[in-house]
């Protein structure tokens, strides 16, 4: 992406990934952050933290990504990580119906417990395991597609229909994507969509020339009601 | 009322402060024997039996020479190392430690837990040995002048080499240990007797010992000349895929040589003697091939393996081919465990990992599988065999990392809290910075603990941490963690957010092999690596962080961690309860959750305590031999079942359900708490556990919670249980309970409530309740009302309409309560009467009028008016009555039409005589107990709505009687006297009237003195559900006989006779009664109008003067009807 000549205002956005074990949360992050994929990714223990910038036409968003562990018993750790998150990626594996149920639980949990106004995207991952000619706009490498088909001997492994997940997402007011961390389908799109969906007012740590003071102050105020004792600390001064 | 936190507090006051998380349930003397086991890393089967102060002398091994003279033996003893300490004897171990701990009952806690303090690198066991008795070949008592009492112990050291030794030129070196006992002569004698006994029973274990030892690499290492032929024991995947790290750089060869010497001189595996060199050798890093063996030795998993060497193989075999959730989870992670190690890119490595994780998940189904275990086990498998890894994993989960991998991971969360508090204490500036910068320390530290630094540090370094960890225990994880933060303190102070914080540590870990002081002039200093520095800081600077520090901190934070886990669990499970639950408020759901799990938790605690107590007693009676550990049993605390501690029971059986109900509803409390002299097995089935011997402590061993009232047991409760148990597995989940209550409380409409009740008694779901069911419903009504009615009640008939909907109006209600309860009894009696009056015969004798069979099946409401449904006959029947009001037939006819689609036949055809006779017969048949009959839902509804109180019962009392979140009004202090019975009512009076004297006598005569008469009988039966059943049924049968008799003699007056039986005569009876009927029909019509049939509504409006024809009208009509009924009853 081309850098604008004048520095664009930049702000950081806390994003948390939630979803059943092995649906590909860490792989999505790895794809987004390093444009890489590892077949045997170790399970996330507790949580992992990564950052990545996302350039929008008018501003730069720095994602502070909290990738959590998916196994059920790690769920009680999650509140620690989604605390103050402005956005969330709730991921399911579209070859595993149970993972969508788990995703719905997470959506409900976030809607009730996380910051009000949190932007949630529902993401069905492992799109490469379906044999559909992807309707997505960013499938560029035919090679990857073939590999995926080869892996999946009897064709379509999809168990969750797009319609089902999408109608749920609409009902709950979520962004919705089907992705493949393996071949990269729709991955940056998810993050970009989230970046665009974050309301300007809730952006923190705006570092555009002159904008800093007011932005951060108003942001602090808007967070007052959902903060714990440690929460009122501005993230300013973060070097990136 | 149940209160989790107070219970926990109570429980905690019994916990030994050093034992925060190691709560062993199977042991009657937890504090001392758990400590003992922890010090010597012994299996749970061991308890401290004897101890004595002693001095250990270790001489270098000598060639075995049985003919050595006494003088030679003396000489041996004087050479070698001497250690002063304590000698301990358990069932199958002889342990010596330089740690002067004592596990005598009289010893103070600090004496017993001395090993949890600073150990100076020696680990809790100190210098000494942990010798299985079966490894002792021979014990000699030495006679010498200088010592009163000395023992020379010869071990089976090198056992597995014996066969080879015959061909080998190397003489077998015999390990000999000399111990001088320092105690009074009797004390020494006693100890020796105990030892003798133990040795005898240990003889049988030698075969096991052989097997276990043969899997130890040290045996192969020390084999001498024979080694070329034998294949070495499995020392992990490293033997196939190489061990991580550069062997040269790790100086593996020299380490191996040093270890070889040590093991040769001071015993190997099972016979090893711990001396300072041993601990030092561990500190500098174990050699690859011995690493696994030393880990299993220092952690004590070796002793677990010795106890049951085949457990691993057996478990795999036993569960072969079976599936589980854990196995699914394991499969997901097999390819994701140390993927960079070549062994785990192969089927061999993956297969081993799969088997170990699977076997463990079967042996500990509560833990099953937790992510991170895959990483830990993968690491273990590089250095040890599958079986060794299996037992070491058990030791990790049960002892070293308690609660880490549990389903709630409370141990992990707790230790994170502990770690944070240690950081705050030892590095306050850094801590302040973390707080200010809002950095989440646990993001980095949680994986350190959960996967033992294995995927945080390069493997070679993580393994060195593990070397010390298995020797010294969990505190090592904290020491290393603190050291990491201390060393990186300055950089971390510059990190202003999570990202920067994480990257500082990441880069630190990647440079652990570099020089800690690269710029130093001093070449020695320059040679010190960062990892060495880390070890020094961890174990020198943070040497003050001991096991007891950790235990104290755990104790301190345990409550808040468990509470927050439980809150989370509660929130989650309430949220996932499904749409039905929305009918109950959030507050109610929360309260239900608390009640539900409260009951389960308490019950589990109680049954556990009962079990322990039973065990203790049987044990005490079996052997009163244990010399040391006697005295009073310490108060045992079992926190099993607490939600926060992991898998807790989620299913409630019927007894639990009774207890659950009794916490919410007054009627569910027993009137007659099981007296101790009465063996009431049915009420308290668990008493059967104990037989007679436990009588004296019955109070504390009651299966019901102390202080809480004992629950009742009534058929109604069983029905409710079965109804809620939708999965038909004789137990209820929270979901079942919530759905069940939502259906009762959440409806808020009387029809739903009536239907629900009816369905409870419609066993086969065919829409009919038979004679038996009617009686049972009546019994249930009596049962439910015997402590008075709750909810909104009409104070009296004269106040109808005024206060009907003033809910629970304090004083006023109280004032009229007694009266209301009495009236309710008469309502129930009227209910029974009406039910039989309107019941349908199961096999109608005259069905030719039934124009369409589908009509009958589909239109339940048709059945409601079976008497009227067969239409024209009804008119005739009524016509037969001499006083029938002229208006009545018209009403009847119209209302009949309401029963179903208007039939032209009915409207036009005049009633014929023959038909009416048939109907009369049918009616008579309905009264004959020998002829089966039933009521349908509409009939039931009609009968209920005919009575103001019954109506209110279903509308309000019944749903209100389940008090989910509000406090239950305590039942009157004088149990039985507060109960309302028949005796106060006209019912009783009327009953005595019939000449055949049905009331007194019968089956209850023996129980109740005849002098007390009916009143006594009834007083008594209301306190006993079963007898109520018998009595009501008997009375009803009698009543029916009477009716039948009258019907036969004077068929015209059957109704009248019926009145005679149940109520007093009333001159106005007839007219009231017919009006009453109109109203009843109106009630049914109302039901019909709800169903939306237009012509029905029309007809109804025409026919029912009292009905407004709308939903709102029902209320007025209902009240009016009830008031009339009440008048009539007087
Ligand atoms: N075919 C395919 N496989 C994927 C994709 N994304 C992830 N995977 C695989 O799924 C497995 C799990 O991926 P992770 O990214 O570790 O899953 P996770 O959700 O982070 O799992 P936890 O950390 O255990 O919660 C890995 O073996 C990945 O290679 C995808 O888009 N397509
Ligand atoms: Mg992950």
Secondary structure of chain A as H, E, C letters: CCCCCCCCCEEEEEEEEEECCCCCHHHHHHHHHHCCCCCCCCCCCCEEEEEEEEECCCCEEEEEEEEECCCHHHHHHHHHHHCCCCEEEEEEECCCHHHHHHHHHHHHHHHHHCCCCCEEEEEEECHHHCCCCCCCCCCCCHHHHHHHHHHCCCCCCCCCCHHHHHHHHHHHCCEEEECCCCCCCCHHHHHHHHHHHCCHHHCECCCCCCCHHHHHHHHHHHHHHHCCCCCCCCCCCCCC
Q: Which ligand is nearest to the CA of A92?
A: 1
Least confident piece of the model among A133-142, A197-206, B458-467, B617-626 = A133-142
Task: Establish if B648 touches chain A: CB-CB under 8 angstroms.
Answer: no
The finding on whether A42 has its CB within 6 A of some atom of ligand 1 is no
Task: Establish if B682 touches chain A: CB-CB under 8 angstroms.
Answer: no
The finding on whether A96 has its CB within 6 A of some atom of ligand 1 is no
- Which one-letter DSSP state was computed for residue B115? G
Instruction: Residue B436: list chain A partners with CB under 8 A.
Output: 233
Task: Establish if B334 touches chain A: CB-CB under 8 angstroms.
Answer: no
Least confident piece of the model among B163-177, B629-643, B701-715, B1001-1015 = B1001-1015
Q: Do B440 and A79 touch (CB under 8 A)?
A: no
Angstrom distances, CA of residue B656 to CA of B662, B690, B704, B996, B1015: 10, 20, 9, 45, 35
Percent of chain B topping pLDDT 90 = 29
Per residue in B392-449, pLDDT (tens digit) is: 999 999 999 989 999 889 999 999 999 999 999 999 999 999 999 988 898 899 999 9
Residue B935 banded pLDDT, cuts 50, 70, 90: confident
Q: Which residues pair with A64 in a beta bridge?
A: A14, A51
Average pLDDT over residues B49-78: 66
Give residue B61's pLDDT. 59
**Is B678 a residue whose pLDDT tops 50?**
no
Nearest by CB to A238, which of B333, B496, B569?
Answer: B496
Cα-to-centroid distance, A181 and ligand 1 (Å)? 8
Token pair 């040497």 is found at B543
Residue B221 banded pLDDT, cuts 50, 70, 90: confident
CA A98 to chain B, closest CA, distance in angstroms equals: 13
Percent of chain B topping pLDDT 70 = 62
Least confident piece of the model among A29-38, A212-221, B209-218 = A212-221
Least confident piece of the model among A1-10, A56-65, B260-269, B474-483 = A1-10
Better-predicted residue by pLDDT, B430 or A40 = B430
Give residue B929's pLDDT. 57
The finding on whether A89 has its CB within 6 A of some atom of ligand 1 is no
Average pLDDT over residues B923-931: 53
Highest mean pLDDT out of A231-235, B281-285, B615-619, B701-705: B281-285
Q: Do B332 and A75 touch (CB under 8 A)?
A: no
Instruction: Residue A40: list chain B partners with CB under 8 A.
Output: 335-336, 339
Nearest by CB to A46, which of B332, B407, B442?
Answer: B442
- Pocket probe mutation, ligand 1, options A21, A22, A102, max atoms within 8 Å of Cβ: A22
Q: Do B374 and A43 touch (CB under 8 A)?
A: yes
The finding on whether A40 has its CB within 6 A of some atom of ligand 1 is yes
Average pLDDT over residues B1008-1036: 44
Number of H helices, E strands in chain B: 53, 13
Least confident piece of the model among B152-166, B572-586, B731-745 = B152-166
Token pair 């004679």 is found at B771
Give residue B164's pLDDT. 45
**Is B10 a residue whose pLDDT tops 50?**
no
Task: Establish if B575 touches chain A: CB-CB under 8 angstroms.
Answer: yes
B855 token code pair: 């009509």
Percent of chain A topping pLDDT 90 = 53
The residues, ordered by sequence, that sit 6+ positions from B330 with a Cβ below 8 Å of its Cβ are: B354, B357, B358, B361, B369, B374
Residue B917 banded pLDDT, cuts 50, 70, 90: very low
Residue B896 banded pLDDT, cuts 50, 70, 90: very low
The finding on whether A182 has its CB within 6 A of some atom of ligand 1 is yes
Average pLDDT over residues B957-971: 69
Better-predicted residue by pLDDT, A223 or B566 = B566
Give residue B856's pLDDT. 42
Distance of CA B1073 to the CA centre of its chain: 56
Give residue B298's pLDDT. 95
Nearest by CB to B499, which of A46, A51, A70?
Answer: A51
The finding on whether A128 has its CB within 6 A of some atom of ligand 1 is yes
Task: Establish if A79 touches chain B: CB-CB under 8 angstroms.
Answer: yes
Q: Do A233 and B436 touch (CB under 8 A)?
A: yes
Least confident piece of the model among B321-335, B538-552, B836-850, B986-1000 = B986-1000
Residue having the nearest C-alpha atom to atom 30 of ligand 1: A126
**Is A74 a residue whose pLDDT tops 70?**
yes
- Tell me which chain A residue has its CA closest to the CA of residue B335: A40
Question: Is residue B270 within 8 Å of B489, Cβ to Cβ?
Answer: no
Give residue B173's pLDDT. 65
Question: Is residue A160 within 8 Å of A169, Cβ to Cβ?
Answer: no
Give residue B468's pLDDT. 96
The DSSP annotation for B647-690 comes to -----B-HHHHHHHHHTT-GGGB-SSPPPTTS--TTT-GGGGGT
**Is B1088 a residue whose pLDDT tops 60?**
no
**Is B709 a residue whose pLDDT tops 80?**
no
Instruction: Residue B455: list chain A partners with CB under 8 A.
Output: 42, 45
Q: Do B336 and A40 touch (CB under 8 A)?
A: yes
**Is B1022 a residue whose pLDDT tops 50?**
no
Per residue in B712-742, pLDDT (tens digit) is: 788 888 888 888 888 888 888 888 888 888 8
Question: Is residue B370 within 8 Å of B331, Cβ to Cβ?
Answer: no
For chain B, positions 401-460, list CB contacts with chain A under 8 A. Answer: 406-409, 413, 435-438, 440, 442-443, 446-447, 450-451, 455
Residue B972 banded pLDDT, cuts 50, 70, 90: very low
Q: Are strands B768-770 and B933-936 parallel, antiparallel or unpaired?
A: antiparallel
Average pLDDT over residues B1042-1050: 57
Give residue A231's pLDDT. 36
The finding on whether A21 has its CB within 6 A of some atom of ligand 1 is yes
The finding on whether A180 has its CB within 6 A of some atom of ligand 1 is yes
Token pair 């991952």 is found at A125
Give residue A79's pLDDT. 87
Average pLDDT over residues B1094-1098: 42
SS3 B153: strand
Average pLDDT over chain B reads 71
Q: Most A CBs within 10 Å: which of B345, B365, B420, B438, as the mutation test of the A interface?
A: B438
SS3 B978: helix
**Is B197 a residue whose pLDDT tops 50?**
yes
CA distance B762 to B754: 12
Distance of CA B122 to the CA centre of its chain: 40
Residue A52 banded pLDDT, cuts 50, 70, 90: very high
- Tell me which chain A residue has its CA closest to the CA of residue B501: A49
Q: Is the ipTM of this complex over 0.90?
A: no
Give residue A138's pLDDT. 40
The finding on whether A9 has its CB within 6 A of some atom of ligand 1 is no
CA distance B369 to B769: 50
CA distance B844 to B847: 6
**Is B548 a residue whose pLDDT tops 50?**
yes
Nearest by CB to B450, which of A46, A48, A80?
Answer: A46
CA distance B1022 to B976: 9
- Tell me which chain A residue has its CA closest to the CA of residue B566: A76
CA distance B1105 to B1113: 11
Give residue B20's pLDDT. 37
Per residue in B327-383, pLDDT (tens digit) is: 999 999 999 999 999 999 999 999 999 999 999 999 998 899 999 999 999 999 999
The DSSP annotation for B250-296 comes to TTHHHHHHHHHHHHHHH--GGG-EE-HHHHHHHHT---HHHHHHHHH
Least confident piece of the model among A129-143, B437-451, B691-705, B720-734 = B691-705
Q: Which ligand is nearest to the CA of A157?
A: 1
Average pLDDT over residues B201-229: 81
Residue having the nearest C-alpha atom to atom 7 of ligand 1: A24
Per residue in A28-39, pLDDT (tens digit) is: 999 999 999 998
CA distance A186 to A136: 7
Average pLDDT over residues B544-567: 90
Give residue A189's pLDDT. 95
HEC per residue, B450-506: HCCCCCCCCHHHHHHHHHHHHHHCCHHHHHHHHHHHHHCHHHHHHCCCHHHHHHHHH
Q: Do B443 and A49 touch (CB under 8 A)?
A: yes
Give residue B838's pLDDT. 78
Average pLDDT over residues A105-120: 91
Least confident piece of the model among B279-283, B473-477, B1098-1102, B1113-1117 = B1113-1117
Highest mean pLDDT out of B69-73, B534-538, B713-717: B534-538
Q: Do B455 and A39 touch (CB under 8 A)?
A: no
Average pLDDT over residues B385-395: 97
Percent of chain A topping pLDDT 70 = 71
**Is B882 a residue whose pLDDT tops 70?**
no
Cα-to-centroid distance, A27 and ligand 2 (Å)? 7
Give residue B314's pLDDT. 96
Give residue B874's pLDDT. 36
Highest mean pLDDT out of A129-143, B478-492, B756-770, B852-866: B478-492
Question: Is residue B1064 within 8 Å of B1074, Cβ to Cβ?
Answer: no
Question: Is residue B3 within 8 Å of B967, Cβ to Cβ?
Answer: no
Highest mean pLDDT out of A30-34, B32-36, B584-588: A30-34
Q: What is the pTM of this model?
A: 0.71
Q: Which ligand is nearest to the CA of A22?
A: 1
Per residue in B1047-1076, pLDDT (tens digit) is: 555 444 444 333 333 334 444 444 444 444
Average pLDDT over residues B1031-1060: 53
Give residue B1032's pLDDT. 57
Residue B1118 banded pLDDT, cuts 50, 70, 90: very low
**Is B513 a residue whose pLDDT tops 70?**
yes
Nearest ligand 1 atom to the CA of A151 is 1
Residue A210 banded pLDDT, cuts 50, 70, 90: very low
Question: Is residue B209 within 8 Å of B307, Cβ to Cβ?
Answer: no
The DSSP annotation for B749-802 comes to -HHHHHHHHHHHH-TTSSSEEEHHHHHHHHHHHHHHHTT---SS--S-GGGTTT
């Amino acid at each position: 992406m081309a850098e604008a000549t004048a520095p664009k205002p930049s702000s950081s956005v806390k994003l948390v990934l939630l979803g059943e074990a092995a649906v590909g949360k860490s792989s999505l992050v790895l794809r987004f952050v390093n444009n890489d994929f590892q077949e045997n990714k170790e399970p996330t223990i507790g949580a992992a933290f990564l950052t990545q910038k996302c350039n929008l036409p008018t501003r730069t968003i720095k994602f502070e990504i909290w990738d959590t562990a998916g196994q059920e018993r790690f769920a009680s750790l999650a509140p620690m990580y989604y605390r103050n998150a402005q956005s969330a990626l709730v991921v399911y594996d579209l070859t595993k119906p149970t993972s969508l149920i788990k995703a719905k639980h997470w959506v409900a949990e976030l809607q009730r417990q996380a910051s009000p106004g949190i932007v949630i995207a529902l993401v069905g991952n492992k799109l490469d395991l379906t044999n559909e000619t992807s309707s997505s706009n960013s499938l560029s490498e035919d090679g990857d597609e073939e590999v995926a088909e080869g892996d999946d001997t009897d064709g379509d492994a999809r168990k969750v229909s797009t319609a089902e997940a999408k109608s749920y997402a609409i009902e709950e007011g979520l962004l919705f994507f089907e992705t493949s961390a393996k071949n990269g389908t729709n991955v940056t799109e998810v993050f970009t969509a989230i970046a665009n969906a974050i309301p300007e007012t809730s952006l923190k740590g705006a570092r555009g020339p002159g904008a800093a003071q007011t932005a951060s102050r108003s942001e602090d105020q808007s967070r007052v009601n959902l903060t714990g004792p440690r929460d009122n600390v501005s993230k300013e001064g973060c070097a990136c | 009322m149940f209160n989790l936190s107070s219970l926990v507090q109570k429980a905690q006051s019994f916990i030994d402060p050093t034992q925060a998380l190691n709560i062993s349930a199977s042991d009657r003397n937890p504090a001392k024997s758990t400590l003992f086991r922890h010090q010597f890393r012994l299996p749970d089967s061991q308890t401290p039996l004897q101890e004595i102060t002693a001095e250990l002398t270790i001489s270098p091994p000598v060639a075995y020479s049985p003919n050595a003279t006494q003088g030679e033996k003396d000489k041996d003893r004087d050479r070698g190392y001497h250690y002063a300490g304590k000698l301990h004897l358990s069932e199958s171990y002889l342990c010596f430690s330089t740690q002067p701990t004592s596990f005598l009952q009289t010893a103070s806690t600090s004496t017993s837990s001395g090993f949890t303090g600073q150990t100076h690198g020696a680990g809790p066991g100190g210098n000494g040995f942990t010798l299985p008795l079966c490894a002792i070949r021979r014990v000699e008592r030495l006679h010498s002048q200088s010592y009163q009492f000395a023992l020379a112990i010869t071990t089976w050291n090198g056992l597995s080499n014996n066969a080879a030794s015959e061909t080998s030129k190397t003489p077998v070196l015999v390990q000999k240990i000399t111990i001088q006992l320092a105690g009074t002569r009797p004390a020494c004698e006693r100890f020796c007797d105990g030892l003798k006994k133990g040795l005898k029973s240990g003889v049988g274990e030698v075969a096991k010992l052989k097997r276990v030892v043969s899997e130890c690499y040290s045996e192969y290492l020390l084999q001498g000349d024979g080694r070329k032929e034998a294949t070495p024991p499995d020392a992990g995947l490293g033997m196939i895929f190489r061990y991580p790290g550069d062997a040269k750089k790790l100086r593996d060869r020299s380490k191996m040589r040093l270890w070889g010497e040590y093991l040769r001189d001071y015993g190997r595996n099972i016979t090893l003697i711990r001396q300072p060199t041993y601990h030092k050798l561990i500190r500098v890093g174990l050699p690859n091939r011995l690493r696994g063996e030393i880990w299993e030795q220092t952690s004590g998993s070796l002793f677990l393996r010795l106890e049951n060497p085949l457990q691993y193989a057996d478990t795999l075999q036993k569960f072969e081919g079976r599936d589980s959730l854990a196995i699914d989870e394991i499969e997901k992670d097999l390819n994701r465990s140390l993927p960079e190690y070549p062994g785990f890119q192969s089927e061999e490595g993956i297969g081993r990992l799969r088997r170990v994780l699977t076997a463990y998940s079967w042996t500990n189904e509560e833990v099953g599988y937790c992510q991170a275990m895959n990483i830990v086990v993968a690491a273990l498998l590089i250095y040890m065999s599958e079986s060794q890894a299996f037992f070491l994993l058990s030791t990790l989960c049960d002892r070293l990392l308690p609660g880490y991998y549990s389903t709630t991971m409370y141990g992990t969360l707790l230790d994170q809290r502990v770690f944070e508090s240690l950081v705050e204490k030892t590095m306050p500036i850094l801590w302040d910075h973390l707080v200010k910068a809002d950095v989440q320390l646990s993001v980095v530290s949680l994986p350190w603990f959960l996967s033992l630094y294995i995927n945080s540090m390069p493997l070679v370094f993580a393994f060195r941490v593990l070397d010390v960890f298995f020797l010294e225990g969990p505190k090592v994880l904290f020491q290393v963690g603190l050291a990491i933060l201390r060393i990186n303190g300055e950089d971390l102070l510059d990190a202003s957010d999570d990202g920067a914080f994480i990257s500082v540590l990441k880069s630190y870990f990647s440079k652990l092999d570099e020089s800690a002081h690269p710029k130093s002039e001093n070449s020695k200093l320059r040679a010190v690596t960062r990892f060495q520095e880390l070890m020094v800081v961890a174990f020198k600077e943070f040497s003050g962080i001991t096991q007891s520090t950790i235990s104290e901190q755990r104790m301190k934070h345990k409550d808040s961690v468990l509470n927050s886990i439980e809150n989370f669990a509660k929130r989650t499970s309430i949220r996932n309860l499904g749409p039905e639950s929305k009918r109950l408020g959030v507050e109610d759901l929360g309260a239900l959750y608390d009640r539900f799990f409260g009951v389960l938790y308490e019950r589990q605690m109680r049954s556990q305590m009962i079990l322990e107590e039973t065990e203790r007693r049987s044990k005490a009676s079996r052997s009163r031999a244990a010399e040391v550990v006697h005295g009073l049993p310490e108060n045992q605390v079992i926190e099993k079942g607490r939600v926060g501690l992991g898998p807790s029971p989620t299913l409630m059986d019927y007894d639990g359900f009774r207890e659950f109900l009794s916490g919410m509803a007054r009627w569910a409390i027993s009137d007659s708490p099981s007296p101790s002299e009465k063996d009431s097995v049915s009420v308290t089935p668990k008493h059967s556990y104990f037989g007679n011997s436990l009588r004296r402590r019955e109070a504390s061993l009651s299966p019901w919670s102390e202080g809480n009232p004992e629950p009742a047991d009534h058929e109604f409760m069983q029905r409710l249980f079965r109804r809620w148990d939708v999965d038909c597995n004789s137990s209820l989940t929270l979901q079942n309970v919530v759905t069940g209550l939502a259906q009762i409380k959440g409806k808020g409409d009387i029809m739903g409530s009536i239907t629900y009740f009816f369905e409870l008694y419609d066993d086969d779901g065919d829409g009919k309740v038979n004679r038996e069911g009617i009686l049972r419903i009546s019994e249930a009504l009596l049962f439910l009302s015997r402590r008075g009615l709750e909810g909104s009640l009409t104070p009296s008939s004269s106040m109808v309409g005024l206060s009907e909907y003033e809910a629970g109006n304090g004083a006023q209600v109280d004032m009229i309560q007694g009266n209301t309860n009495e009236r309710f009894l008469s309502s129930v009696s009227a209910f029974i009467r009406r039910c039989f009056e309107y019941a349908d015969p199961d096999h109608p004798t005259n069905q030719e009028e039934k124009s369409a069979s589908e009509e009958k099946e589909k239109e339940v409401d048709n059945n409601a008016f079976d008497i009227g449904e067969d239409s024209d006959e009804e008119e005739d029947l009524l016509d037969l009555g001499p006083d029938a009001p002229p208006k009545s037939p018209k009403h009847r006819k119209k209302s009949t039409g309401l029963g179903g689609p208007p039939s032209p036949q009915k409207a036009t055809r005049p009633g014929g005589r023959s038909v009416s006779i048939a109907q009369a017969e049918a009616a008579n048949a309905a009264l004959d107990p020998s002829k089966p009959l039933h009521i349908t839902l509409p009939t039931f509804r009609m009968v209920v709505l005919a009575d103001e109180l019954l109506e209110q019962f279903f509308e309000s009392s019944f749903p209100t009687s389940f008090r989910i979140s509000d406090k239950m009004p305590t039942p009157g202090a004088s149990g039985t006297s507060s109960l309302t019975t028949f005796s106060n009512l006209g019912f009783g009076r009327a009953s005595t009237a019939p000449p055949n004297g049905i009331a007194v006598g019968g089956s209850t005569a023996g129980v109740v003195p005849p002098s007390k008469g009916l009143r006594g009988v009834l007083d008594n039966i209301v306190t006993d559900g079963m007898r109520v059943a018998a009595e009501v049924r008997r009375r009803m049968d009698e009543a029916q006989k009477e009716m039948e008799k009258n019907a036969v003699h004077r068929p015209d007056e059957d109704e009248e006779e019926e009145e005679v039986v149940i109520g007093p005569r009333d001159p106005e009876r007839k007219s009231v009664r017919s009006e009453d009927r109109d109203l009843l029909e109106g009630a049914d019509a109302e039901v019909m109008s709800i169903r939306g049939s237009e012509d029905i509504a029309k007809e109804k409006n025409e026919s029912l003067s009292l009905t407004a024809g709308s939903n709102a009208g029902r209320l007025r009509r209902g009240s009016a009807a009830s008031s009339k009924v009440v008048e009539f009853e007087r």
